[in-house]
Amino acid sequence: MIFKKTLMATTALTVAASGAFAQDMADSMTIVSWGGAYQSSQQKAYSEPYVAMHPDVSVTWDESSNEAVAKLRAMNEAGNITWDLVDVVAADAIRLCDEGLAMEYDPEELLAPGDDGSSAEDDFGDLIVSDCYIPQIVYSTTFGYRTDMVPEGVEPPSQICDVFDVEKYPGKRALEKRPINNMEWALLCDGVAKDDVYDVLETAEGQDQALAKLDTIKDDVIWWSAGADTPQLLADGEVFMGSTYNGRLYSVIVEQEQPVAMMWDAQVFDLDGWIIPTGLPEDRLARVKDFVKFATDTTRLADQAKYISYGPARASSAPLVPEDMKQHMPTDPANAGNTFLYNYSFWADYRDDIDAKFQSWLAK
Amino acid sequence: MTDATAGAAPGQKKPGKVLAADGRPLKESLNRALRLQKMRALMLIAPLLLFVLLTFIAPIADMLFRSIQNGIVSETLPRTTERLADWDAKTGELPDEAVYEGLYYDLFIAAERKLHTRLGSRLNYEMTGMSSLFRQSGRALDDIGDVYFDQFDDLDKNWDEAEPWAELMGDPAWLTKMQAWKKADGKKMPKFVLADGMDELLPRTAETYAAFAEYTQVDEGKSLVKEEPWVLVHTALYQDLMEKDVTGYTGPQAEMLKAADAAVGGFESITFKEGMQEVDEDWLDHGTWQTIQMYSPEFTNGYFLNAVDMQKTPDGPEFRNENQQIYGLLFKRTMFMSLMITGSCILLGYPVAWLLANLPMRQANLLMILVLLPFWTSLLVRTSAWKVMLQQQGVINDVLVWLGLVNDADRLVMINNQFGTIVAMTHILLPFMILPLYSVMQTIPPTYLRAAKSLGATNWTAFWRVYFPQSVPGIGAGSILVFILSIGYYITPEIVGGTTGTFISNRIAYHISSSLNWGLAAALGTILLAVVLGLYYAYDKIVGIDNVKLG
């Protein structure tokens, strides 16, 4: 009864406060993200300023992005969606969209136009890789190496193929325990031209070729499955070089001051962003839309780059990124000499097939 | 009844019918009391029983059931699968036009309801490329309908309007109500009713319009007098007009319909096969159709075949290529490693349990706390600690190098392999072995050992012939606990197992949370469950489950 009264009172207040045309908005929100430094950068850049503007709104954070796709599917089947906004990588967003678990949206209606006057659609450009996806940042999967483990008299590694050269650079490598990225790098270092990589990888022979190349370093690889593994392995000196997300390496180098350096060559760009689950009640949806519009505007996206070395997804945010952060951005021209963009449509089709082969190869 | 009782004095009751105080037969009364007692007992455990049934058994059963469920194909593509049933894949020919027509209709409706991509990701587990085939087809499908839509539209602009369509297809009484309906009134929209005889006059149009009406009203919540129909309906109308005679029709919009009927003969047309080819070349691929046909039935053994490294083919189940086989290997490895872990738990746990049972109370309690201590620490912390201990730059290797036992250049590899998994999991599961062993050993009177020795047995004989046999039930209980727990473990192998130390459960976890192939995960889980039950049965036959004691 009391609850109902409060509800009616708050509703009345909200309506009164925001004028006759405003919709009812829920006063709490559950946002799902990855935890760690990344989530705290989102809290500082997005949710704290938002709550400062709307003191009656409470925001709960859930660190479940890792299993977001499976959990959203389960919630959807149970008919009870408890999340309002979910942070996922682009490949997951495409699958959620495919499964009807993420809401399609209209960029012009949901997102604010860019500060430089460009429309939201132009400002995000190609990064809106799915009708359900609201990109936030560009990150990359790239290599870092221990500077103190470089053999004497040898140049530090700077090319992707140095990873596959165990004679010149002896030592363990850390690679992710999945085919994505590893297969591309292997082909690239087995003489396949960058533009042909996916044409080759489509064929069974190409997949065997990539696995054969990986075979040459298999004994020297420690396979990681969590983003924190490689930084830890590098810090402990367990591996000489390893792939991980560039922001993780940034914190190893800049914050923990470990003798580690970046090797940006053949880094693979990927996106991280929001999806709104389908089937939210109207008041919660209205609140989420209001938050998203705020949190993805030009200033907010640029703000996030103060706290973590990921590039904002809006073109108009780039000039606002702090100077000292620019050199750590994967998109900085000095770092982006040779880059890949995660091939979403290829991996959506070939993921199951290649993964079966990769895991079978790995287990042997 | 014996003769003696039969010859008893008349008038007396037969002894078989002893009555209780209330006059009922005693037996019945006793049964009733017992039944009541049972009911009461059942009522007492009912909350728990219900809880377990609802929150544990039912979800698991539902999850396992997914391993054979495959309704998504025939639900999303009802017409296609029905027409495809007669198609013989072995002839090497593509299905006929009727199948392509069905596919267009099904796919159009599925795309509007956003179900086609879901089916695409389902079929992609069986055939690479299905995911994008369905996704792209959903986008490009309008091209076929646009051919007819444009021509109807050129003929009469009303064919692009919502209201004339609603008048043509809808029942007049419904239409009146529909026109009077306003959203602001807050009442429910009147449900669409098809006009009389329309399903015979224009069968395809009626069917597709009804599907459109249901989607618009129920899913979108929009009014049928405001929304113009899908281009699919125009395609259907073209087909109907080419086949049916509408000259006798006198209902609403008769003139518009008759004018169209007169004109359709001269319409430009395309076959559905050509249309689908333009949408995506893969619709002319034999393999695509084979896959759809193979997975048309509502239930499939496909997931189970996948789970044992086989696949469905038109010629029956076949083994997969060797470079894709993995589950057989993982099942064997899971069994082997679980047995190893159980074995090392027995070896390490037995002496500890013996100490616990035989030390004075004070020391025993302290030791007990040490045994239980790992239980109170997070699993992840314990596993990560092993990482620190075992890795090449870790504590053990450092000590060995410092002692000069191991060369700095070839430090031991003790983690990210089977050894690491066995060590870490033995440590984690050890209490599950020690506790049942301890409680069984506590019940063994120490006098037995003393008696054996006083009768001349050596220490070893006394232990082996007298003590050990009495502790076997504890070993049995501990082994079952440890083995069954370890067979389903996945966090520890994931962290310390590397590539050779992972379990089947790691693949199950992968299919549940990453690849989303829940059917395959369910099939793997069912097999694992069956294996455990089988082993339990074997254990019961060989050792006897009555010999297992937890205390």
Q: With respect to residue A118, please indicate whether it lies within any of the assigned structural domains.
A: yes
Please check whether residue B296 is in contact with residue B267, taking contact to mean a CB–CB distance below 8 angstroms: no
Please report whether residue A1 resides in a domain: no
Instruction: Give the DSSP H/E element, type plus range, for residue A241.
Output: strand A241-245
Number of domains in chain A: 2
Nearest CA in chain B to A175: B498
pLDDT in tens, B12-24: 545 557 787 778 8
- Backbone CA torsion sign across A154, A155, A156, A157: negative
Surface of B (317-346) touching A: CB under 8 A: 323-326, 329-330, 333
Whether the per-residue pLDDT at B219 is higher than 90: the answer is no
Return the DSSP state at A327. Answer: T
Contact: B129, A349; criterion CB under 8 Å: yes
Tell whether B515 lies on the interface with A, counting CB pairs under 8 A.
Answer: yes
CB of B253 within 8 Å of a chain A CB? The answer is: no
Q: Are residues A209 and A96 in the same domain?
A: no
Please indicate if any CB of chain B lies within 8 Å of the CB of A360. yes
Chain B partners of A352 at a C-beta cutoff of 8 Å?
124-125, 128, 515, 517
- How far apart CA B174 and CA B252 sit, in angstroms, is 14
For B140-152, what is the mean pLDDT?
91
How far B492 CA sits from the closest chain A CA (Å)? 13
pLDDT of residue A15: 43
Contact flag A100-B115 (C-beta cutoff 8 Å) = yes
> Are A97 and A149 within one domain?
no
Contact at CB, A353 and B416, closer than 8 angstroms? no
Interface test with A, best of B309, B418, B499, B504 (most A CBs within 10 A): B499
Where does residue A296 rank: exposed (0-12), middle (13-18), buried (19+ CB within 10 A)?
buried
Question: What pLDDT is stored for residue B186 in this prediction?
Answer: 77
Q: What is the mean pLDDT of residues B199-218?
A: 92
Q: Which residues does chain A have within 8 Å of residue B117's beta carbon, measured at their own beta carbons?
A: 97-100
∠A115-A121-A125 over CA atoms, to 5°? 95
What burial letters (b/e) apply to A212-242, b meaning 16+ CB within 10 Å?
ebbeebeebbbbbeebebbbbbbebbbbbbb
pLDDT in tens, B348-400: 999 999 999 999 989 999 999 998 888 888 988 999 899 999 999 999 999 99
* Whole-Å CA distances, B482 to A177, B229, B339, B381, B433: 28, 63, 9, 20, 7
Q: Please tell me whether residues A116 and A182 are part of one structural domain.
A: no
Residue of chain B whose Cα is closest to the Cα of A356:
B324
Contact B427, B382 (CB under 8 A): yes
Residues A145 and A165 sit within 8 Å (Cβ to Cβ)? no
CB within 8 Å: A236 and B393 = yes
CB-defined contacts A:B, below 8 A: 84
Contacts of A69 in chain B (CB under 8 A): 513-514, 516
Beta carbons of B130 and A349 less than 8 Å apart: yes
Chain A contacts of B391, Cβ < 8 Å?
236, 238
Which pLDDT value is given to residue B551? 63
Are residues A145 and A232 located together in one domain of the fold?
yes
Question: What is the number of alpha carbons within 13 Å of residue B2 lying toward its C-beta?
Answer: 4
Whether B416 has its CB under 8 Å from any CB of chain A: the answer is: yes
Give B130's contacts in chain A (Cβ within 8 Å). Answer: 349
Give me the sign of the Cα torsion angle A64, A69, A70, A74: positive
CB spacing of B114 vs A100 below 8 angstroms = yes
Q: What pLDDT sits at residue A187?
A: 97
A357 contacts in chain B (CB < 8 Å): 323-324
- DSSP code at position B55: I
Q: Which helix (H) or strand (E) holds B542?
A: helix B518-542
Question: Across the interface, do B132 and A355 touch by the CB < 8 Å criterion?
Answer: no
What CATH number does the domain containing A122 carry?
3.40.190.10
pLDDT at B1 (0 to 100): 40
Query: Does any domain span residue A7?
Result: no
Q: Which of B393, B512, B513 sits opposite A238 (nearest CB)?
A: B393
| Alpha carbon B296 to chain centroid, angstroms | 19
Q: Mutate which of A180, A217, A349, A357 to test chain B, going by most B C-beta atoms within 10 A? A: A349
Q: Does A183 touch chain B (CB under 8 A)?
A: no
CATH architecture of B327-547: Orthogonal Bundle (1.10)
Encoding tokens for residue B138? 């959903």
* Tally of residues, chain B: 551
Q: Give one DSSP letter per residue of A290-306, joined into a string.
A: HHHHHHTSHHHHHHHHH
Do residue A158 and residue A73 come from a single domain? no
> Alpha-carbon distance A184 to A202, whole Å?
11
At residue B13, the 3 state secondary structure works out as coil
Asked whether the beta carbons of residue A238 and residue B323 sit closer than 8 angstroms, the reply is no
Phi, psi of B244 (to 5 degrees): -100, 160
What pLDDT score does B8 carry?
Answer: 45
The per-residue pLDDT for B286 is 93
Tell me the mean pLDDT in the region B527-545.
88
Residue A3 lies in a domain: no
Contact criterion met (CB < 8 Å) for B326 and A95: no
Q: How far is A21 from chain B (nearest CA, A)?
A: 16
Residue numbers in B near A361 (CB within 8 A):
323
| Other beta carbons less than 10 A from residue B137's beta carbon | 23
Shared domain check, A290 and A228: no
**Chain A residue with minimal CA distance to B417?**
A222
Residues A289 and A183 placed together within one structural domain of the fold: no
Query: Do residue A235 and residue A351 come from a single domain?
Result: yes
CA distance B130 to chain A (A): 7
**CA-based nearest residue to A86, from A96, A74, A77:** A96
For residue A114, being part of any structural domain is answered with: yes
Residue numbers in A near B499 (CB within 8 A) = 177, 223, 362-363
CB contact under 8 A, A98 and B323: no
Domain holding A93, by residue range, is 14-132+276-326
Report the residue from B117, B502, B513 with minimal CB separation from A70.
B513
Residue A248 lies in a domain: yes
Would the CB atoms of B498 and A223 count as touching at under 8 Å? yes
> In whole angstroms, what is the distance from residue B487 CA to residue B534 CA?
13
Could you tell me the CA-to-CA distances from B267 to A271, B151, B208, B238, B239 in Å, in that order? Answer: 48, 7, 21, 9, 11
> With a CB-CB cutoff of 8 Å, which residues 42-81 of chain A face chain B?
66-67, 69-70, 73
Smallest CA–CA separation between B144 and chain A, in Å? Answer: 23
Nearest to B131 among A225, A349, A364 (CB): A349
Q: Which residues of B touch A353 (CB under 8 A)?
A: 128
Q: Do the bridges between strand A58-62 and strand A28-32 make them parallel or antiparallel, or are there none, so unpaired?
A: parallel
Residues contacting residue B100 through CB under 8 Å, at least 6 positions apart: B271, B272, B273, B275, B276, B283
pLDDT for B14 equals: 53
Query: What residue of A is the nearest CA neighbor of B500?
Result: A363
Cβ atoms < 10 Å from Cβ of B155: 16
Distance (Å) from the C-alpha of residue B501 to the closest C-alpha of chain A? 9
Quick: pLDDT tens for B243-267. Answer: 988 888 988 899 999 999 999 989 9
DSSP A144-207: EEEGGGSPTTSPPP-SGGGGG-TTTS-S-EEEESSSTTHHHHHHHTTT--GGGHHHHHTSHHHH
Kindly list the residues from chain A whose CB atom is less than 8 angstroms away from the CB atom of residue B513.
66-67, 69-70
Same domain, A291 and A312: yes
pLDDT band at B6 (very low <50, low <70, confident <90, very high): very low
Per-residue pLDDT at A156: 95
So where are chain B's domains?
23-65, 71-300, 327-547
Greatest alpha-carbon pair distance for chain B in Å reads: 116
pLDDT at A19: 41
Residues of chain A short of pLDDT 70, as ranges, are 1-23
Closest-CA residue of B relative to A71 is B513
Residues A307 and A235 in one domain: no
Residue with tokens 């309801």: B113
Same domain assignment for residues A74 and A112: yes
CB contact under 8 A, B500 and A359: no
Q: What is the ipTM of this complex?
A: 0.87
* Closest-CA residue of chain B to A78: B59
